[in-house]
Chains A and B, each alone.
Chain A
Amino acid sequence: MSVTYIDAIRQAMTELLEEDPAVFLMGEDIAGKFGGAFKATKGLDARFPGRVLNAPIAEDAIMGMGIGAALEGMKPILEMQFADFGILALNQMGNNAGAHYYRTGIPLNLTLRMPCGGTPAGGPYHSQCPESLFAHFPGLHVFTPATVADAYFMLKEAVRIPDPVVFMEHKFLYRWLKADSWIDPEPLPVGSVRIARPGRDATVVAFSAMVPEALQAAELLQRECGYELEVVDLRCIKPLDVGGILGSVARTGRLLVVSEDFPWGGVAAEVISAVTTEGFHLLDAPPLRITAPDTPIPYHPDLWKAHRPGAAKIAQTARYLITL
């Protein structure tokens, strides 16, 4: 049997609703026969009546309501339809939910599902990866699963963890990424990087939809020139497993970070900053990064493909890095 990334997300929500009466879902267009813009909640309203709630187009209020419900001991899973629109909830996310535990000592158990990332012809406002914006605020954990098993496991973890968790689920991976099962019998704990492919010549740090691209690049480079890239899947950008990244850099001496997001102040910059300040002596060459260019995400599929970091560019940059 083959299952997809979005099947894993739906399965995790189904189990969470079954297991815990405090869990409920709220978001735009998620209830009824429709079951969400991406069908992540398809069938759940019928199966769990009264626990899958449609909301008006009001991202700020959806998030604010989630905070209020969490204060009453519920565990809301809020869907933002598109991460690009999730930005409209940023005040409630950062200033209210994120600050809450520090201010009051009371954690808020809520999960924000953010369908993110580029797809062909998504255009500037249905394609963004604003994870660094969310990670900027203290008090929010930000998960970026890159495998079917992590989509399932980390969503369940997001609800188990008593704090606000921003769950960045990549739309490109929804139906493209397949696996035999969503179950990993021995999942790595959240907060630990995963060595997606071991190698000795350079470390490529990636997350979300850039992990499959980095794996392809590693395959390409091995085939073409015999170089072995070590691909590190961050899995979770906040908290960031700096120790895990340094462990890989210690083995390879070279670092390339790949992020689909815009360059300025992004995850790639944060990873390079952490490695150069804490592991400068491990580096045999200057660390490099690949991000999208500093422009909005273009509409035309050809422009989009050129804007989005992909396997060919990763392979080319890694080859250059190894020669430094």
Chain B
Amino acid sequence: MAKLKARMPCEEMLPFTFGTVKLDETNLGVMTSVMALGEDAALSSALSDAHGVGFPKANRTLGNAGGPRCIWFGQRQAMLIGPAPDDRLQVYAALVDQSDGWCAVTVEGEDVEHVLERLVPVDLRRMHFKRGHTARTQLGHISASITRTGSQAFLILVFRSMAASLVHELSQAMRAVASRRGNG
């Protein structure tokens, strides 16, 4: 069989910077959708035993960049990022490999909240939305998962097919914010 070349969803589109804000693609590696079947508590302890991160509460993430990470992803759903899922989890959750299904970007910089407030109908300011907080919401018209990863940084996930639309929406908002600052 022909050897196919792996291609990132935002390849040749990123990175770029406007004003104080930088947008770049983030390679998250293995991503597994974890949908609870029985008790959430049993699933959480099985996840902790296998990967060192439990099942997150609604609107929260567990773990950090680099290590295993679990991002809440909807009603009784989370995305396990990093390790391939341990087989023992199958008793507690439906597991689906979605590694190639998502486009992940990191947007960061001083004006990042001003960029996102033009696109996202959730208050993402630091006083309300702290590091480790996450939201399923919309970015423009795109269904998205948005997580704060730092004081001026967010991880944004959208369906892979939405990669170009995501880059377009963010670039427009980044340009607009930069031009208001007078450094576009």
Q: Do A and B bind each other?
A: no
Interface residues of B (CB under 8 A from A): none
Chain A residues within CB distance 8 Å of chain B: none
